[in-house]
Structure 1
Amino acid sequence: MITQAEKGKLFASLHEEPGIFVIPNAWDAGSARLLQNLGFQAIATTSAGFAFTIGKPDGTGAVTREEHLGNARAIAEATSLPVSADLEGGFGDAPEDCAKTIRLAGQTGIVGGSIEDATTRKDDPIYDFEAAVERVTAAAEAARALPFRFTLTARSENFLHDRPNLADTIMRLQAFQDAGADVLFAPGLTNPRDIETVVREVDRPVNVVMGLKGVPLSVEELGRLGVRRISVGGSFTRAAIGAFLAAAREVQTKGTFTFAKEATPHGELNAIFAAWPKN
């Protein structure tokens, strides 16, 4: 059985080794086990994917901290791989809210997590610079106080909220780095030149999210740009929901069941889950 401390060291080492790796996002225990079965080295949770699968919208504060941490625990217990959780904005405005979220997250079995500078408020979607830095500082201090290696990712959300200000994004990431973040992430970057610039202007591993419509960059191409880690956010969940809706629409509108040709066989899934080793 691999311990949380061992998972923490393993996850950190993935960022320290040369090259690039993909950390796919699972939305529940079953998807986590399937991803491990495919041979991935680590797993992340997805706030969007989890929200959609429990019938709630993403990015609005509709999903509680308790719900997110419960999902993180279920995923961490389902796999022997290191798990990093999408902890959104830390579930509160104050720096102490972020610190509390990290402390509680450390009790779920995960070994990494992200804190973002988005507020969930439409009229004021991004925390001002000073507040954003204070929040990451508090999260980093809480992470360092845990009894195992916890890899903290700090996210600048400008590009997801119609604020495509690369200079401000870089300034925030640099400040998050100085505040103690281990990994830096600006979701929504799609231009190779912008990605390369961010990588060049910071001194921490950079995560890029792929699975975005109209962004054809490959793992190899992102590796050449200097990216260290690739996540997929909620895109695997959306792909699964897309297949579900296509099948349901076929039955509803055509009265046919050809979707079954593409469905994973029951026996294959049963065999994967029945043979699963204990952590």
Structure 2
Amino acid sequence: MTRTIAEKRAAFRSLHERGCFVLPNPWDAGSARYLQGLGFKALATTSSGFAWSQGHSDGALSREIVLSHLRDMVAATDLPVNADFESGFASDAQGVAQSVRLAIETGVAGLSIEDSTGDPAKPLYDIDVAVARIKAARSAIDEAGGDTLLVGRAENFFAGRPDLDDTIARLQAYAEAGADCLYAPGIRTREQIAALVAAVAPKPFNLLVGSASELTLKDIAELGVRRVSVGGALARSAWGGFTRAARAIAEQGRFDGFADAAPGAELNSLFR
């Protein structure tokens, strides 16, 4: 069944109303279709995974390239797609609003806006500026019909500013500014997760699980998390297999790195 953009967005919003779901992060059409085949209910793009596939570092791609990628990902799957829209490809609120309007036109069901600046000397926007950027994104979404979900991201733990109190203050401010879902990548402990879930309630909280973790999905759900994403971890896992096999050939003349390769017939059957 092929769903319309409106139907995808409605389905995506409903996933945030109760329970806990996993939002895995494909980086191209093939990985998106594979994840759909596994029964996931929604997907999210990964800025890092896509950038690496294009031979660039995370954050180095232009807005135009990312928008084209979003269109491709929306077309590749019948699932709702949440856009990793980085920092909105603008430093000021007006620029963020323009970028968000363009992202909505790609058909994404949701998008996230980060509060990171890209400047190592001052890695986070001042909170008043960050709030203005979220408000601008909210206004752009509302003007377009209001059905695209807005995620506010506090990048403290990714930006070298692991201050839980400031993270909470930022997420609460973003919720007040109109974010539908809140996200603080980089937190790991049960205590941190529980504190953030409580701080933004009743709005849903997104947890990033980007590395091996002792927490299971059941554990995470019991902490009150509404959705779980994996960022670039699936892309890094794919690169891990590729680099191990390639290095074995280059450095040792060995081909046993292909032992765990997916069968070509299986892949052809999947994508036929």
Q: Give the TM-score of the pair, scaled to structure 1.
A: 0.95
Distance 1:148 1:30 in 2: 30
Q: What residue number does 1:247 align with?
A: 245
Q: What residue number does 1:277 align with?
A: none
Deviations along 1:9-57, whole A, 9 cap, x unmatched?
A: 00000001x2100000011111101110111100000001111111111
Q: What residue number does 2:200 align with?
A: 202
Aligned partners of 1:98 and 1:139 also within 8 Å? yes
| Cα deviation, residue 216, structure 1 | 2.2
| Cα deviation, residue 147, structure 1 | 3.3
Deviations along 1:118-154, whole A, 9 cap, x unmatched?
A: 0111111100010000000100111122236101100
Distance 2:41 2:154 in 1: 25
Q: What residue number does 2:167 align with?
A: 169
SS in 2 for 1:161: coil
- Taking a change above 3 Å as real, the CA distance of residues 65 and 90 of structure 1, as seen in their structure-2 partners, is same
| Cα deviation, residue 212, structure 1 | 2.1
| Cα deviation, residue 254, structure 1 | 1.9
- Taking a change above 3 Å as real, the CA distance of residues 85 and 105 of structure 1, as seen in their structure-2 partners, is same
Give me the identity figure in percent: 47
SS in 2 for 1:137: helix
Q: What residue number does 1:69 align with?
A: 67
Q: What residue number does 1:10 align with?
A: 11
| Equivalent residue letter for 2:270 | I
SS in 1 for 2:75: helix
| Cα deviation, residue 211, structure 1 | 2.5
Q: Where do 1:136-151 residues align within 5 Å? A: 136-147=134-145, 149-151=147-149
Q: Does 1:46 align with 2:75?
A: no
Distance 2:230 2:244 in 1: 21
| Cα deviation, residue 102, structure 1 | 1.2
The number of residues matched between the two structures is 270
Q: Does 1:20 align with 2:20?
A: yes
Distance 2:114 2:210 in 1: 20
Q: Does 1:179 align with 2:177?
A: yes
Root-mean-square deviation (CA), in Å? 1.0
Deviations along 1:48-75, whole A, 9 cap, x unmatched?
A: 111111111114xx21111111111111
| Equivalent residue letter for 1:29 | A
Q: Where do 1:103-118 residues align within 5 Å? A: 103-118=101-116
Q: Where do 1:116-131 residues align within 5 Å? A: 116-131=114-129
Aligned partners of 1:4 and 1:148 also within 8 Å? no
| Cα deviation, residue 260, structure 1 | 2.1
Q: Give the TM-score of the pair, scaled to structure 2.
A: 0.97
Q: What residue number does 2:29 align with?
A: 29
Gaps of 5+ in 1: 275-279
Aligned partners of 1:12 and 1:151 also within 8 Å? yes
Distance 2:222 2:85 in 1: 29
Distance 1:109 1:90 in 2: 16
SS in 2 for 1:242: helix
Distance 2:221 2:63 in 1: 34
